[in-house]
Amino acid sequence: MTDAFTPSDDFSAQFDSLLAWRRDVRRFRTHPLEPGLLDDLIDRACLAPSVGNAQPWRFVSVEDADLRAVVAESFAKENAAAADAYEDDQARLYGELKLAGLKEAPVHLAVFSEAETERGGGLGRQTMPETLIYSTICAIHTLWLAARSRGVGVGWVSILDPGDVSKALKVPESWQFVGYLCLGYPIENHDDPELVRHGWQERIDRSDVFFRR
């Protein structure tokens, strides 16, 4: 047993700043992370909560240039297809957005969720098996905050074909692809989302998402 954690007002203020400063990063410096830092971030990610303590997250560091090229090709293909779905000003704006940092980021992490894990004995997921994926997403968010607290930016690339990524990385069939993360030191930092700055989507008010019954 450890002593209870009692956050100070200063800690709470810094945490609030971290949440605002977390932001999805697309513009990275190319120099590598400090030795041991990636391992440290994975350790922090593994402190995330998980259903039944199943810990279903699986992280694959994609370091091979040929494998990265497969991911980049998948992004290019899916990004082009997505662009075709927009018209007029929205199409123009979509073309101006930087939606990935695949070429610049020194670290690529493919994140999967083990769908057939026996850990946790099925606790908490008899009626909602998707909680395994939710748990993996919690680990991603924990890693994200830990990274930003150490000055490392994270960008989540979702414009990919999950099948392309899983096949290229030769992961077990029971591993469900959840996300592809780019990590590195950011060229610039912002406390507002890039999509807000470029006029794609404004933040919505709490009243739009919080309800009482």
Distance CA 213, CA 198 (A): 36
pLDDT tier for residue 69 given thresholds of 50, 70 and 90: very high
For the chain, the straight-line distance linking the first and the last C-alpha, in angstroms and rounded, comes to 38
In this prediction, residue 1 carries a pLDDT of 65
CATH top class, domain 40-186: alpha beta
Domain layout of the chain by residue ranges: 40-186
Backbone angles phi, psi at 183, to 5 degrees: -125, 145
Q: Does residue 189 carry a pLDDT above 90?
A: no
Question: What pTM was computed for the model?
Answer: 0.92
Distance CA 91, CA 53 (A): 44
Tens of pLDDT, residue by residue over 87-139, are 988 989 888 888 889 999 999 999 999 999 999 999 999 999 999 999 999 99
Q: Does residue 7 carry a pLDDT above 70?
A: yes
Q: How confident is the prediction for the chain on average, in pLDDT?
A: 93
In this prediction, residue 75 carries a pLDDT of 94
